Amino acid sequence: MSRMPPFSSLLKSREVEDPVNLWMHRPIAYVIASGLYRTPVTPNQMTLVAMLVGFAAGALWLVGTPTMIMIGGILLWSSSILDGVDGILARAKNMSSDIGRALDGTADVFVVTATVVPAFIYLLRTYDQVSLVTLLAMMVVAVITTLPQIYLYDYYKEVYLHATRPGEERRRESVDKAEARAAKAKAEGAPIWVRFSLNAYVGVLKNQQRVVRLLNPASIDIERSETTEKSAEIFRRHNHGPMQLWTFISLCPHSYLLAIAAIIGRFDLYLWFRVVGANALFIIALIWQRHASSRTLAEAEQSGLDWPGHHHGHGHTSVGGLRGS
């Protein structure tokens, strides 16, 4: 086997990563992947390891002692770093696969659930600075707004990568294709973990699709477009700013901020951030992104680019994968 490819060649793009993930998590993940490069370890196995470490964090939080809370925080942060190893290893070994993308996407959702629920249970047991009704309301707001934020970051990340890389065929996967793959796996008697991951992934993609259609359907035209040097220039000019803001409410900041809250024993700070800070950023990012999508389409039309949405409307059903997080 050849030498491990250089770090820069294994990054999707520096433009779609938050600073902590880019300058801290990714280099550590690259070192780990380098150590595994010449071993039989596969990207899918690393996805499972990262998921199990995240589950362990949630389990320790259910114990609820200060020491277990702190150790759980360290484990969750470790899980967030390990979550980047699978994508780097897949690109280095040229082992990217549809099953890998499905497994990675569903694993992320499971780790979020397996850690947020125990954190909130701990708060219900211990936090007495607000009434129980207020605390429950804050938790509901945090849960129902966090997933759309993560979905939209992933969506705009994939669109950004497609729209700024002329000459590369980087189409987002359709729900129909994902459903067909899940049906084929069932018909062929694939292992239960494969079928479960593929079916769960279809659910993730459908939810992502609903959020995108509801909040910014104009971006679907950009997703469907052919990328040229001219269109990439137009897209980057309008969308670089909102993309940077999306990175701050993506899955990675969610994970390391929750981990830090656990390490210092202040889950309440994480809850307040999700309800107030993250949602304020979300509203700004959403308004900015809708404006950017409209400006992108308008300038593309003025420049004579024949993009699909100018003639066929917003009927596309394509949604994205989460691999390489």
Give residue 319's pLDDT. Answer: 36
Residue 82 has pLDDT above 90, yes or no: yes
CA 87, CA 97: separation in Å to the nearest integer? Answer: 10
d(CA 10, CA 189): 34
* Mean pLDDT over each residue of the chain, to the nearest integer: 86
- Band of residue 177 on the pLDDT scale cut at 50, 70, 90: confident
Tell me if residue 66 falls in helix, strand or coil.
Answer: helix
Q: Is 75 helix (H, G, I), strand (E, B) or coil?
A: helix
What separation in angstroms does the CA of 74 have from each of 18, 41, 57, 265? Answer: 20, 24, 8, 12
Instruction: Output the six-digit token pair for 217.
Output: 């359907």
- SS3 for 193? helix
In this structure, what DSSP letter does residue 117 have? Answer: H
Burial string for 120-135 (b: 16+ CB within 10 Å, else e) reads bbbbeeebeeeeeeeb
- Domain residues for the domain of 274 are 11-305
Residue 311 lies in a domain: no
Helix axis angle, 98-126 to 43-63, nearest 10°: 10
Of 44, 247, 235, give the one whose Cα is nearest residue 149. 247
Report the pLDDT value the prediction gives residue 169, as an integer from 0 to 100.
62
pLDDT higher than 90, residue 242: yes
Whether 147 shows a pLDDT value over 50: the answer reads: yes
Closest CA to 314 of 221, 183, 214, 241: 221
For residues 101-113, average pLDDT = 81
Residue 325 lies in a domain: no
pLDDT at 14: 87
pLDDT at residue number 1: 53
Q: Does pLDDT of 102 surpass 80?
A: no
Question: Can you give the length of the chain in residues?
Answer: 325
Q: Is 217 among the domain residues?
A: yes
- CATH number of the structural domain spanning residue 55: 1.20.120.1760
Which has more pLDDT, 176 or 292?
Answer: 292
pLDDT at position 240 is: 96
- Asked whether residue 316 carries a pLDDT value surpassing 80, the answer given is no
**Residue 304 has what pLDDT?**
83
Structure confidence by residue, pLDDT tens digits, 188-226:
888 887 788 788 778 877 887 788 888 888 887 787 788
Mean pLDDT confidence for 31-42: 93
Give the residue-averaged pLDDT of 107-131: 92
Helix (H) or strand (E) holding 144: helix 132-163
In a domain, 48, yes or no: yes
In this predicted model, which residue has the larger pLDDT, 80 or 318? 80
- Maximum CA extent, the chain: 63
- How many C-alpha atoms does 205 have within 13 Å on its Cβ side? 27
Q: What string of DSSP letters covers 213-272? A: HHH-TTHHHHHHSPP-HHHHHHHHHHHHHHHHHHHTTSHHHHHHHHHHHHHTT-HHHHHH
Could you give the CA distance from residue 273 to residue 250 in angstroms, rounded to a whole number?
13
Q: Is residue 3 part of a domain?
A: no
Residue 321 lies in a domain: no
Residue 209 lies in a domain: yes
pLDDT at 315: 39
pLDDT at 272: 95
In this predicted structure, the answer to whether residue 307 has a pLDDT above a threshold of 80 is no
Enter the pTM of the model: 0.83
Mean pLDDT value of segment 133-145: 94
Average pLDDT score over residue span 32-54: 93
Question: Which amino acid is present at 22?
Answer: L
Does some domain include residue 4? no
Number of folded domains in the chain?
A: 1
